[in-house]
């Protein structure tokens, strides 16, 4: 089993710089990691490079849902919904049962008669398209039944409800597991490695020039095929080739609020209609996630900022149905992400919306863009199919629908043995359940760390949900290079605590420093950088518009500067 350790990263860059690979993937988001896994499990030699951290863009800032997109049925996009629901079933049952879990939603009805028939027909079709049987079918509820499930609702906000199921996943951890699984099959994965140029032989792309941001070194990596899977950065990466692309990506900002679980009394999530879209209230451990917005974004892509106006909008919308309204003091965390939406110069691409597209603007280069998180595997398969088409040999078909991610094998058995694991480790069973839901069968590696050093079995100061062992493991095995990587993506402390992780930061840095060999000065720099990041985010969330929010957020420098914005 391959750990994404500091020594692994150095070895990966050395290997990529010394021999040509079949496929080099640019982008460490869910699609890029999915491409690496798809290619390597077909028997191809593979590299993946990412300018920042795994899932540092869109793939850590979604609504955390694995779903078919119920609202796309109204758009008559049955094919997209059917495809997404098939992928939902695969993730839940086969690919990542340790990371994904069912979530129940309540859809309040405001009108008698016709709305129940209309919405009920839609949810019936949704269940029918799923076919897998991975989740229970929907139910009709009276107003009394709906209020029993969600006492937080105002009585005058509904006449009845529908209850249905979807699924959720910690998007950043899932993306990291995809990359780590690809590495376990032989892919070379390197983060903080920025593509600064393309290698050409005539019109053909033959590789990339990569700047190692950690050690200020530049490498040339040669590849038979290069895949641009850089999401909202697709056009920026494409511009390095010097050729016009076949389609372009527009960034749409969506923000989410995180509030404590006790602020909304409910045993179910909610889906609410707004004037322009839908609003989700999603259970998230000891918290709720409330979102999202959908607004055009043309400013900094690395750190999209949530403005005060965005936050007030979400609070106003959710408060329309809550008996006890939420206010700004209830908000623990705020995060903003960018959806990569396609628009193009032809009718076929301008209509793609949340669907994806794959193209080859020049020989040797494949571009994949658009889509939604749930269908990452299909996007990756289509991109690697395009690569295979240009390779001068026979290559097997995609097998990723049958490749469980690391941690999936043995997970059900360990879940059944969680009481025994708790007794053997000295941890409470709730702690073992927490680990199993984040690491699956790799939980045994965390328990080994705790056995060797019992102090690692204690919770981290300032974020009681997480054990100290998790911070050591994040740096040693999960590719985390910096404190911000751990507090925002390997864990969710940055959005799950009212102080945004400032109290936990020095304690986490001390643990990470042991693995990464930081000097006391480096450790202090990491903590200070994180403190400035939180300060800048808070300042941005007090601004009334995108421009001033963006300027405030950019007041904190990147821990490792990246050239492309």
pLDDT for 348 beyond 50: no
Q: What is the pLDDT of residue 311?
A: 97
- Lowest-pLDDT range, 356-365, 429-438, 540-549? 356-365
78 falls in which pLDDT band (50, 70, 90)? confident
504 and 514 assigned to the same domain = yes
| Domain membership flag for residue 293 | yes
Q: What is the bridge-based pairing of β-strands 204-212 and 193-201?
A: antiparallel
User: By C-alpha distance, which of 97, 181, 179, 180 is closest to 408?
Assistant: 97
Burial (Cβ within 10 Å: 0-12, 13-18, ≥19) of residue 202: exposed
Q: What is the mean pLDDT of residues 188-201?
A: 98
Residue among 58, 470, 137 at smallest CA distance from 301: 58
pLDDT of 88 higher than 70: yes
What is the rounded CA–CA span in Å between residue 186 and residue 36?
Answer: 10
pLDDT tier at 564, thresholds 50, 70, 90: low
Q: Is residue 53 located within the same domain as residue 196?
A: yes
Contact 291, 280 (CB under 8 A): yes
Q: Are residues 143 and 291 in the same domain?
A: yes
pLDDT at residue 354 is higher than 70:
no
410 in a structural domain:
no
Residue 269 shares a structural domain with residue 397: no
Cα 160 to the center of its chain, rounded Å:
34
95 domain residue, yes or no: no
Higher local confidence (pLDDT), 150 or 274? 150
Cβ atoms 202, 61 nearer than 8 A = no
pLDDT in tens, 415-429: 999 999 999 999 999
Same domain, 333 and 270: yes
Tell me how many degrees the CA angle 492-153-265 measures, rounded to the nearest 5: 45
pLDDT higher than threshold 60 for residue 347: no
CATH number at 31 reads 3.50.50.60
Domain count, the chain: 3
- Both 471 and 548 in a single domain? yes
Q: Domain with 335 in it: what CATH number?
A: 3.30.9.10
For residue 346, pLDDT over 50 is answered with: no
Taking Cα atoms as reference points, which of 531, 508, 509 lies closest to residue 459? 508
Q: Check residues 344 and 306 and name the one with the higher pLDDT.
A: 306
Tokens of 39: 């290619």
For residue 258, say if its preceding peptide bond is cis, omega within 30 degrees of 0. Answer: no
Report the relative pairing of strands 269-273 and 100-109 from DSSP bridges: parallel
Question: Of the candidates 295, 316, 342, which is a domain's last residue?
Answer: 342
Tens digit of pLDDT for each residue in 232-288? Answer: 999 999 899 987 667 789 999 999 999 999 999 999 999 998 887 789 999 999 999
Q: Average the pLDDT over each of 123-127, 374-378, 454-458 and give the range with the smallest value.
A: 123-127
Residue 298 burial by CB count (10 A; 0-12/13-18/19+): exposed, middle or buried? exposed
Check whether residue 50 and residue 182 sit in a common domain. yes
**DSSP 8-state symbol, 454:** G
Name residue, tokens 């421009």: 547
Name the packing angle between helices 443-452 and 429-439 (round to 10°).
130
- Specify the CATH number for the domain of residue 543: 1.10.8
With contact defined as beta carbons under 8 Å apart, do 134 and 67 qualify?
no
Any domain includes 562: no
DSSP assignments along 191-229, one per residue: SSEEEEEEEEETTEEEEEEEEETTTTEEEEEEEEEEEE-
Calculated CA dihedral for residues 203, 207, 213, 219, nearest 10 degrees = -110
Q: Taking Cα atoms as reference points, which of 334, 332, 352 lies closest to residue 342?
A: 352
- What per-residue confidence (pLDDT) applies to 351? 36
Does 350 score more than 50 pLDDT?
A: no
Q: What is the DSSP letter of 457?
A: G
Boundary-marking domain end, from 293, 315, 342: 342
Contact, 167 vs 96, CB < 8 A?
A: no
Q: What is the pLDDT of residue 242?
A: 81
Q: Using pLDDT thresholds of 50, 70 and 90, give the confidence band for residue 551.
A: very high
6 within 8 A of 515, measured Cβ to Cβ: yes
- Residue 324 has which token pair? 């006890």
CA distance 514 to 523: 10
Would you say residue 436 lies in a domain? no
Regarding whether 328 and 212 lie in a shared domain, the answer is: no
Q: Which domain holds residue 47?
A: 7-59+173-248+347-402
Contacts of 554-558 with C-beta under 8 Å, sequence gap 24+, read 554/300, 554/303, 556/529, 556/532, 557/529, 557/532, 558/302
pLDDT mean across residues, the chain = 94
Strand partners, 248: 343
Name the band, by pLDDT with cuts 50, 70 and 90, for residue 69.
confident
Give one DSSP letter per residue of 54-74, joined into a string: TT-SGGGSS--EE---GGGGT
Rounded to 5 degrees, what angle do the CA atoms 458, 184, 91 make? Answer: 75
Last residue of a domain, which of 326, 342, 358? Answer: 342
pLDDT above 70 (res 134) = yes
Q: Across 351-442, where does the E strand assignment appear?
A: 356-359, 365-370
> Do 160 and 257 lie in a common domain?
yes
Tokens coding 532:
């400035």
SS3 per-residue string spanning 71-101: HHHCCCCHHHHHHHHHHHHHHHHHHCCCCEE
Q: Is residue 439 part of a domain?
A: no
Q: Does 445 fall in a domain? A: no
Mean pLDDT, range 153-164, rounded to an integer:
96
Query: Model confidence at 529, in pLDDT bands (50, 70, 90)?
Result: very high
Paired sense of beta strands 247-260 and 46-49, if any: unpaired
Q: What is the pLDDT of residue 440?
A: 98
Q: 305 Cβ partners below 8 Å, 6+ apart?
A: 299, 336, 537, 540, 541, 543, 546, 549, 550, 552, 553
CA proximity to 191, closest of 227, 215, 174, 171: 215
Query: In this structure, what token pair is assigned to residue 134?
Result: 């991975």
Q: For 12-55, what is each residue's pLDDT tens digit?
A: 999 999 999 999 999 999 999 999 999 999 999 999 999 999 99
Same domain, 355 and 216: yes
The full 3-state SS of 278-346, as one line of letters, equals EEEEEEECCEEEEECCCEECCCCCCCCCCCHHHHHHHHHHHHCCECCCCCHHHCCEEEEEEEEEEEECC
Q: Is the peptide bond before 321 cis (omega within 30 degrees of 0)?
A: no
- 449-475: average pLDDT: 98
Tell whether 231 and 357 lie within a shared domain: yes
- Specify whether the CB–CB gap between 82 and 129 falls below 8 A: yes
Cβ atoms within 10 A of the Cβ of 361, count? 16
The answer to whether position 68 is within a domain reads no
At residue 72 the predicted structure's pLDDT band, cuts being 50, 70 and 90, is confident
Q: pLDDT-derived band of residue 344, with 50, 70 and 90 as boundaries?
A: low
* 356/386 same-domain check: yes
Specify whether the CB–CB gap between 530 and 484 falls below 8 A: yes
């Amino acid at each position: 089993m391959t750990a994404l350790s500091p020594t692994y990263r150095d070895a990966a860059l050395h290997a990529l710089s010394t021999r040509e690979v079949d496929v080099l993937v640019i982008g460490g988001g869910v699609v890029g990691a999915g491409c690496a896994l798809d290619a390597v499990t077909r028997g191809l030699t593979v590299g993946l490079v990412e300018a920042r951290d795994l899932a540092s863009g869109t793939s850590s800032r979604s609504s955390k849902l694995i779903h078919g997109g119920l609202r796309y049925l109204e758009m008559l996009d049955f094919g997209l919904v059917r495809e997404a629901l098939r992928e939902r079933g695969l993730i839940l049952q086969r690919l990542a049962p340790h990371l994904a879990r069912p979530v129940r939603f309540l859809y309040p009805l405001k009108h008698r008669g016709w709305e129940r028939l209309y919405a009920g027909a839609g949810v019936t079709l949704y269940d029918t398209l799923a076919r897998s049987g991975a989740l229970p079918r929907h139910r009709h509820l009276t107003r009394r039944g709906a209020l029993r499930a969600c006492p937080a609702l105002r009585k005058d906000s509904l006449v009845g409800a529908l209850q249905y199921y979807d699924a959720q996943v910690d998007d950043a951890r899932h993306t990291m597991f995809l990359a780590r699984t690809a590495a376990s099959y032989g892919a070379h994965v390197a983060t903080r490695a920025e593509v600064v140029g393309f290698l050409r032989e005539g019109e053909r792309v033959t590789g990339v020039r990569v700047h190692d941001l950690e050690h200020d070194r530049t490498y040339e990596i040669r590849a038979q095929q290069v895949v641009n899977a850089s999401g909202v950065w697709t056009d920026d990466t494409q511009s390095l080739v010097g050729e016009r692309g076949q389609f372009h990506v527009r960034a749409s900002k969506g923000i989410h609020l995180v509030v404590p679980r006790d602020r909304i009394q409910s045993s179910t999530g909610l889906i609410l209609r707004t004037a322009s879209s839908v609003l989700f209230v999603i259970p998230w451990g000891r918290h709720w996630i409330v979102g999202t917005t959908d607004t055009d974004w043309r400013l900094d892509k690395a750190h999209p900022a949530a403005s005060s106006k965005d936050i007030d909008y979400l609070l106003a919308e959710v408060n329309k149905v809550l008996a006890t309204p939420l206010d700004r003091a209830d908000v623990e965390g705020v995060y903003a992400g960018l959806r990569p939406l396609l628009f193009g110069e032809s009718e076929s691409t301008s209509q793609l919306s949340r669907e994806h597209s794959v193209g080859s603007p020049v020989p040797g280069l494949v571009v994949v863009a658009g889509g939604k998180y749930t269908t990452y595997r299909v996007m990756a398969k289509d991109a690697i199919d395009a690569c295979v088409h240009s390779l001068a040999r026979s290559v097997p078909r995609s097998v990723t629908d049958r490749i469980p991610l690391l941690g999936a094998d043995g997970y059900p058995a360990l879940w059944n043995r969680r009481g025994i694991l708790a007794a053997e480790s000295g941890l409470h069973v709730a702690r073992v359940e927490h680990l199993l839901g984040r690491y699956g069968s790799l939980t045994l590696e965390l328990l080994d760390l705790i056995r060797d050093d019992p102090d690692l079995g204690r919770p981290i100061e300032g974020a009681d949900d997480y054990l100290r062992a998790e911070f050591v493991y994040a740096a040693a095995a999960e590719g985390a290079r910096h404190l911000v990587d751990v507090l925002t993506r390997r864990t969710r402390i940055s959005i799950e605590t009212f102080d945004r992780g400032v109290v936990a930061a020095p304690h986490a840095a001390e643990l990470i420093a042991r693995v990464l060999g930081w000097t006391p000065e480096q450790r202090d720099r990491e903590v200070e950088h994180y403190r400035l990041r939180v300060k800048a985010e808070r300042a941005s969330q007090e601004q009334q518009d995108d421009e001033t929010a963006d300027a405030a957020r950019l007041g904190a420098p990147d821990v490792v500067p990246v050239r492309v914005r």
